[in-house]
């Protein structure tokens, strides 16, 4: 049996939930598919407060934003949520297949909104498969979602916001953080997060990387090495840091497998951290009726993901003829909000990445 | 770096040594390396190793990573049992077991 669907949202993180709520508010019917047990995406483990303006829930903790969005979505009669349901494929004839409770289900949506988020990047160094080496996201899940103390002594790799925030949360959970290691010559994350660590006495070693890990059957320590201005290791600078856990927070990359499958025009854009779809001003990909929003279209903050979701949700609903006038106004205001979020020095990288995407769009249509 | 102790594809246990040997032999794309080593064919379908292999190709051929050809993506995005597919087929046939 193939079920007909109006708007199929893939992924129930901040972008997907916002897209579903926006589309449903116009009267459109939405099916939201979430791989995890509950919707919320990465927000469910974010116990820190958000920045930004009030409209993007500034001052609120991620976990409460997730609860609020999910509750709203469950209350909407025209949103159906499938949890523990993984989208397996988007086929040429527009059929979407899903694995749910061991069953292979088929859907035929009129519009698809892809909000699958991101995956963590990995690093290559000797013994990088020892038990005790994790992505920072996994450690944050163990700690903040499952309530498990994940380690005794951690070395964190990466001084972007994720590395800094997870390090601080580890300290709060009673875990010792030996140091934060950052290959770049400067700290990538916000000063406020770095300062908290510095005040707690955690060294942040910029211009350093992991040379190798060691341990008998499980991680017992890492050898760190300093890098020169060309990112080459400086011999003789090696230090041995005993630890039972190494946390990798070396960046995220868009989880765009489904967009590749659907044959969307994709481009690797380093400012957006990986392969992203070339989208138009409504966040529609090069394939008619397939939209992309949130981290899958370029790694940004959750606040931008929520606004992108709203934009895509209203645009998709309007294209089906739902509440066109209001939806168009909402699309325009979401665009203005995104411009504002991406203004300033912190948004420079994103703006450069989006500029490249726009150029590619021009090339494709010429 | 001790290439034989550095894992690139965790699912299929493929080392940096094996990936670099492939590239030196003349394999030029992620898909070609996938076919000869199975890197990227495990449960995660290349989410971990894809960019690491892309970096290796970029540095060997002295090209920006943007120019490394991405592999072909096909359903399913994760492993699925034959039973689930068989049940779906039976149901589509209106079978008694469905």
Residue-wise pLDDT for A340-359, tens only, equals 999 988 899 999 999 999 99
- A28 shares a domain with A174: no
Locate the chain B residue with the closest alpha carbon to A116: B77
The C-alpha of B22 sits at a distance from chain A's nearest C-alpha, in angstroms, of 17
With an 8 Å Cβ cutoff, are B47 and A266 in contact?
no
Low-confidence ranges of chain A (pLDDT < 70): 52-56, 364-366
**Domain residues for B56?**
3-72
Residues 6+ apart with CB under 8 A from A314: A22, A23, A26, A327, A328, A330, A331, A334
Q: How many domains does chain A have?
A: 2
In a domain, B86, yes or no: no
Q: Tell me which chain B residues have a C-beta less than 8 angstroms from the C-beta of A87.
A: 77
In a domain, B92, yes or no: no
Q: Does A186 touch chain B (CB under 8 A)?
A: no
* Best CA proximity match to A143, nearest among A170, A181, A104, A171: A170
Question: In 3-state terms, what secondary structure has residue A101?
Answer: coil
Mean pLDDT of the B67-72 span: 95
CB A259 within 8 A of CB A290: yes
Using CA atoms, how far apart are residues B64 and A20, in angstroms rounded to an integer? 38
Q: Tell me which chain B residues have a C-beta less than 8 angstroms from the C-beta of A125.
A: 1, 6
Q: How many domains does chain B have?
A: 1
Greatest alpha-carbon pair distance for chain A in Å reads: 67
With an 8 Å Cβ cutoff, are B88 and A103 in contact?
yes
Q: Tell me which chain A residues have a C-beta less than 8 angstroms from the C-beta of B40.
A: none
With an 8 Å Cβ cutoff, are A260 and B70 in contact?
yes
With an 8 Å Cβ cutoff, are A86 and B78 in contact?
yes
Identify the CATH number of the domain in which residue A206 sits: 3.50.50.60
Beta strands in chain A (DSSP E): 2-10, 30-33, 79-82, 85-90, 96-100, 103-114, 118-120, 133-135, 153-157, 176-182, 204-206, 208-214, 221-226, 239-242, 245-248, 252-254, 266-269, 274-277, 290-292
- A352 shares a domain with A284: yes
Using CA atoms, how far apart are residues B7 and B13, in angstroms rounded to an integer? 6
Which residue, of A214, A232, A248, is where some domain finishes? A248
Angle between helices B16-25 and B50-61 (to 10 degrees): 40
Using CA atoms, how far apart are residues B70 and B31, in angstroms rounded to an integer? 8
Counting one residue from chain A and one from chain B, the pairs whose CB atoms sit within 8 A come to: 91
Q: Tell me which chain B residues have a C-beta less than 8 angstroms from the C-beta of A269.
A: 66
Using CA atoms, how far apart are residues A264 and A116, in angstroms rounded to an integer? 15
User: Over 60: is that where the pLDDT of B96 sits?
Assistant: no
Using CA atoms, how far apart are residues A42 and A11, in angstroms rounded to an integer? 11
In a domain, B80, yes or no: no
CB-nearest to B77 from A88, A126, A267 is A88
- A219 shares a domain with A148: yes
Q: What is the pLDDT of residues B70-86, one digit of tens each?
A: 999 999 999 999 999 99
What pLDDT does B98 receive?
43
Strands A208-214 and A176-182: unpaired
- A344 shares a domain with A278: yes
Range A82-86 contact pairs with CB under 8 angstroms and sequence separation of 24 or more: A82/A31, A82/A32, A82/A33, A82/A34, A83/A12, A83/A34, A83/A36, A83/A37, A83/A38, A83/A39, A84/A34, A84/A35, A84/A36, A84/A37, A85/A33, A85/A34, A85/A35, A86/A33, A86/A35, A86/B77, A86/B78
Residues counted in chain A: 366
With an 8 Å Cβ cutoff, are A104 and B84 in contact?
yes
CB A201 within 8 A of CB A177: no
- A160 shares a domain with A276: no
Q: Tell me which chain A residues have a C-beta less than 8 angstroms from the C-beta of B10.
A: 122, 129
Which residue, of A185, A213, A248, is where some domain finishes? A248
The C-alpha of B6 sits at a distance from chain A's nearest C-alpha, in angstroms, of 4
Identify the CATH number of the domain in which residue B45 sits: 1.10.10.1100
Which residue, of A220, A248, A276, is where some domain finishes? A248
- A114 shares a domain with A260: yes
Q: What is the pLDDT of residues B31-52, one digit of tens each?
A: 999 999 999 999 999 999 999 9
Strand partners, B14: B9
With an 8 Å Cβ cutoff, are B74 and A129 in contact?
no
Using CA atoms, how far apart are residues A39 and A69, in angstroms rounded to an integer? 9
How far apart, in Å, do the first and last CA atoms of chain B sit?
55
What pLDDT does B94 receive?
78
In a domain, B21, yes or no: yes
**Domain residues for A215?**
122-248
With an 8 Å Cβ cutoff, are B77 and A126 in contact?
no
CB A155 within 8 A of CB A163: no
Using CA atoms, how far apart are residues A28 and A10, in angstroms rounded to an integer? 16
- A241 shares a domain with A130: yes
In a domain, B79, yes or no: no
With an 8 Å Cβ cutoff, are B74 and A89 in contact?
yes
Within 10 Å of residue A63's Cβ, how many Cβ atoms?
17
- A292 shares a domain with A148: no
The secondary structure element, H or E, covering residue A352 is helix A348-365
- A210 shares a domain with A175: yes
Q: Tell me which chain B residues have a C-beta less than 8 angstroms from the C-beta of A253.
A: 51
Query: How far, CA to CA in Å, does B11 sit from each of A260, A278, B43?
Result: 21, 30, 6
What pLDDT does A16 receive?
98
Q: What is the pLDDT of residues A21-54, one digit of tens each?
A: 999 999 999 999 999 999 999 999 988 887 766 6
Greatest alpha-carbon pair distance for chain B in Å reads: 60
Q: Tell me which chain A residues have a C-beta less than 8 angstroms from the C-beta of B6.
A: 124-128
- A115 shares a domain with A126: no
Q: Tell me which chain A residues have a C-beta less than 8 angstroms from the C-beta of B69.
A: none
The C-alpha of B42 sits at a distance from chain A's nearest C-alpha, in angstroms, of 15
- A214 shares a domain with A67: no
In a domain, B32, yes or no: yes
- A111 shares a domain with A70: yes
With an 8 Å Cβ cutoff, are A257 and B77 in contact?
yes
Using CA atoms, how far apart are residues A319 and A315, in angstroms rounded to an integer? 6
The C-alpha of B94 sits at a distance from chain A's nearest C-alpha, in angstroms, of 9
With an 8 Å Cβ cutoff, are B84 and A121 in contact?
no
What pLDDT does A53 receive?
65
């Amino acid at each position: 049996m193939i079920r007909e669907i109006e708007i199929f949202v893939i992924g129930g993180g901040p972008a997907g939930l916002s897209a579903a709520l926006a589309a449903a508010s116009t009267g459109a019917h939405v099916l939201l598919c979430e791989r995890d047990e509950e919707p919320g995406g990465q927000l469910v483990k974010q116990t820190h407060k958000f920045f930004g303006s009030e409209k993007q829930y500034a001052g609120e903790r991620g976990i409460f934003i997730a609860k609020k969005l999910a509750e709203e979505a469950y209350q909407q009669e025209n949103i159906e949520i499938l949890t523990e349901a993984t989208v397996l494929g988007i086929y040429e004839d527009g059929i979407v297949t899903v694995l749910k409770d061991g069953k292979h289900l088929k859907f035929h949506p009129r519009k698809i909104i892809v909000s699958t988020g991101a995956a963590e990047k990995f690093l290559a160094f000797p013994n990088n498969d020892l038990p005790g080496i994790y992505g920072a996201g996994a450690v944050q899940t163990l700690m903040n979602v499952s309530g498990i103390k994940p380690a005794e002594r951690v070395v964190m790799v990466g001084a972007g916001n994720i590395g800094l925030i997870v390090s601080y949360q580890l300290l709060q959970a009673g875990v010792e953080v030996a140091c934060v290691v950052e290959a770049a010559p400067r700290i990538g994350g916000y000063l406020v997060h770095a300062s908290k660590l510095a005040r707690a006495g955690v060294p942040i070693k910029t211009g350093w990387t992991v040379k190798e890990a060691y341990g008998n059957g499980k991680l017992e320590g890492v050898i760190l090495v300093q890098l020169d201005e060309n990112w080459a290791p400086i011999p003789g600078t090696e230090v041995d840091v005993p630890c039972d856990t190494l946390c990798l927070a070396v960046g995220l990359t868009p989880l765009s497998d489904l967009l590749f499958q659907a044959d969307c025009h994709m481009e690797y854009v380093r400012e957006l951290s990986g392969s992203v779809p070339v989208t138009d001003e409504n966040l529609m990909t090069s394939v008619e009726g397939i939209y992309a929003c949130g981290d899958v279209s370029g790694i940004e903050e959750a606040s931008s993901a929520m606004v992108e979701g709203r934009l895509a949700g209203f645009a998709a609903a309007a294209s089906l003829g739902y509440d066109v006038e209001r939806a168009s106004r909402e699309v325009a205001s979401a665009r203005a909000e995104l411009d504002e979020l991406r203004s300033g020095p912190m948004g420079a990288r994103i703006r450069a990445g989006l500029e490249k995407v726009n150029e590619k769009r021009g090339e494709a249509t010429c | 770096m001790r290439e034989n102790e550095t894992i690139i594809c965790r699912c299929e246990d493929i080392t940096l040594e094996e990936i670099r040997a492939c590239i030196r032999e003349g394999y030029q794309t992620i898909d070609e390396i996938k076919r000869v080593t199975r890197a990227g064919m495990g449960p995660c379908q290349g989410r971990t190793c894809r960019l690491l292999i892309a970096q290796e190709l970029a540095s060997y051929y002295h090209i920006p990573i943007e120019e490394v050809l991405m592999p072909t993506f096909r359903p399913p995005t994760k492993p699925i049992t034959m039973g689930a597919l068989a049940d779906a087929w039976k149901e589509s046939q209106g079978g008694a077991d469905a």
